[in-house]
């Protein structure tokens, strides 16, 4: 073997990079090897349509990173290496077919007034939830930040019981197991208010009727009003570039166009990696693999049968399609000019429509009316486009990784090479209904199908941007599999990180930072 490192990271996703930053800070020599041309995984940016127009490839919202324990510890260093956030005071809204809209902003009174336009009762309930957020959030965040060991669950329950008592503990547990529909229907009467919040569940694979999904509409709604949203100045890759610079400044290596062919082991312990070009790289302390579980057996050659089977059976969420648009101007929203001021506009009009879309995609069908998440980053960060111009980030949810048919009966193609353009046209037809004239403003576009997402990044299996379903059977203690929520594997010194490992998807770098602290110390 040639070369030698204390730790090797397979893949340069943001979790692996966060792990590498921390291990480097603790004096470890770290090598990061990435198969793609640029680091970042799903968190990257580029001129995907026309020169001067910078688009976020997949992830756009960096709120979790900005609020993370990792950023709290390394924010000053990363900022010195070029990381810059753009604050967003109007994070999200939903537009509805009747021309109305509702949105959450950091102006609490304005948010309550928007909700009151649909239901005064709902506005009062929103105010009550806002008032309770300060005492509820610490318990939820303590759970989401825990190590998912039995003792940590016990500590969570002990603290919860000590502060809330028996009835309060049961109430919190019921909430944690609730579906978005059950929670939202209990708390709000207006279908539009329910839909505005339920749209967030779809980001994390929680359709309205999936147990355990209530927490995400609640947290995104409350946090959106309390803290807004954070975007990356010039693109989401600002966090990636800063982490890479930090690693290299400490003597670490970040090498792209370097796919890993095998993880090497001897005597039941990981000893290094073999790259596709034949190079072998030694490691003395840890191999951190930021990979989808389905790649585990291929890279290791197999470990324990039960673990290998669990990795192969790891379930992925339905895929997504990305449509990147370079525009001459922002969309003219039929619901009103004020929608131009929001970072996200969800086109997800009802709980029933979201549930139908999800089931169609799960069945392998191209949904008849997919959900659109329309990102307007240049409202807050004009540096991403030439003067007066804009980029639009359109995420199409949901889309099947493997197509078995079309729910609408219009698209005959069953492979993404032929289905991508007609399905993108279906999505743009929906956008056009809500914002007439948008097509005429398109200067350039790039359609990225679920197959394209996976070809670019093998971790996004079937275009699944969250690298695995977050349903209860594959979350908390069971992510990616029971007994290994800490990223451990049957192979000594070999660990998993990334969205497939607890705490799962999002830009918070939770799994990477937690693992690095476990390995190299806090």
Mean pLDDT of the chain: 97
Among candidate residues 344, 348, 346, the one with its CA nearest the CA of residue 379? 344
Tell me what percent of the residues of the chain surpass a pLDDT of 70. Answer: 99
* Domains of the chain in sequence order: 2-46+64-84+235-314+468-520 (3.50.50.60), 106-227 (no CATH)
Residue 1 has pLDDT above 50, yes or no: no
CB 83 within 8 A of CB 242: yes
89-93, 150-154, 245-249, 454-458: range with lowest mean pLDDT: 150-154
pTM of the model: 0.96
DSSP class of 301: S
What residues contact 215, with CB distance under 8 A and at least 6 apart? 140, 175, 176
Q: How confident is the model at residue 82 (pLDDT cuts 50, 70, 90)?
A: very high
Quote the tokens at residue 487. 């990223």
pLDDT digits (tens, 9 = 90+) for 443-496: 999 999 999 999 999 999 999 999 999 999 999 999 999 999 999 999 999 999
Angle, vertex CA 499, rays to CA 91 and CA 92, nearest 5: 10
CB 101 within 8 A of CB 339: yes
According to DSSP, the β-strands at 344-347 and 92-95 are parallel
Backbone φ and ψ of 90, nearest 5° = -125, 85
**CA dihedral sign of residues 134, 136, 140, 142:** positive
Mean pLDDT of 62-82: 98
Mean pLDDT of 85-98: 98
């Amino acid at each position: 073997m040639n070369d030698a490192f204390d730790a090797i990271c397979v893949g340069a996703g943001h979790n692996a990079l966060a792990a590498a930053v921390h291990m480097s800070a603790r004096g470890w020599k770290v090598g990061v090897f990435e198969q793609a041309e640029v680091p970042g995984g799903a968190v990257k940016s580029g001129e995907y349509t026309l020169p001067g127009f910078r688009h976020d490839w997949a992830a756009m919202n960096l709120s979790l990173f900005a609020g993370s324990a990792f950023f709290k510890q390394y924010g000053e260093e990363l900022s010195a290496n070029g990381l810059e956030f753009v604050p967003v005071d109007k994070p999200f809204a939903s537009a509805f077919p009747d021309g109305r809209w509702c949105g959450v902003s950091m102006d609490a009174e304005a948010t309550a007034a928007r909700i009151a336009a649909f239901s005064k009762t709902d506005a009062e309930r929103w105010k009550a939830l806002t008032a309770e957020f300060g005492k509820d959030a610490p318990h939820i965040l303590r759970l989401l930040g825990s190590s998912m060991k039995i003792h940590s669950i016990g500590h969570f329950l002990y603290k919860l019981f000590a502060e809330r008592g028996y009835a309060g503990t049961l109430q919190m547990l019921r909430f944690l197991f609730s579906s978005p529909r059950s929670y939202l229907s209990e708390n709000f009467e207006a279908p539009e208010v329910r839909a505005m919040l339920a749209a967030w569940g779809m980001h994390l694979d929680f359709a309205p009727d999936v147990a355990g999904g209530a927490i995400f509409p609640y947290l995104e709604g409350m946090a959106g009003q309390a803290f807004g949203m954070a975007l990356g100045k010039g693109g989401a890759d600002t966090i990636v570039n800063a982490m890479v610079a930090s690693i290299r400044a400490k003597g670490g290596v970040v090498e792209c166009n370097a796919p890993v062919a095998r993880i090497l082991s001897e005597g039941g312990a990981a000893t290094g990696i073999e790259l596709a070009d034949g190079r072998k790289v030694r490691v003395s302390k840890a191999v951190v693999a930021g990979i989808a579980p389905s790649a585990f057996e291929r890279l290791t050659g197999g470990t324990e049968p039960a673990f290998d089977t669990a990795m192969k059976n790891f379930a992925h969420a339905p895929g997504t399609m990305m449509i990147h648009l370079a525009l001459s101007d922002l969309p003219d929203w039929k619901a009103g000019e004020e929608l131009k001021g929001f970072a996200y506009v969800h086109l997800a009009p009802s709980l029933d429509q979201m549930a139908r879309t999800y089931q169609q995609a799960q069945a392998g069908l191209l949904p008849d009316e997919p959900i659109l998440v329309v990102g307007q980053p240049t409202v807050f960060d004009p540096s991403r486009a030439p003067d007066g111009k804009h980029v639009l980030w359109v995420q199409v949810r949901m889309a099947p990784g493997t197509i078995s048919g079309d729910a609408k009966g219009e698209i005959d193609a069953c492979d993404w090479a032929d289905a991508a353009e007609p399905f993108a046209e279906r999505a743009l037809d929906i956008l056009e209904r809500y914002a007439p004239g948008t097509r005429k403003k398109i200067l350039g576009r790039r359609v990225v199908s679920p197959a394209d997402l996976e070809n670019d990044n093998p971790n996004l299996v079937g275009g699944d941007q969250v690298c695995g379903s977050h349903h209860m059977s594959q979350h908390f203690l069971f992510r990616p599999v029971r007994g290994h929520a800490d990223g451990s594997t049957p192979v000594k010194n070999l660990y998993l990180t990334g969205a497939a490992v607890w705490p799962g998807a999002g830009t918070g770098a939770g799994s990477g930072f937690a693992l690095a602290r476990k390995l190299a110390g806090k």
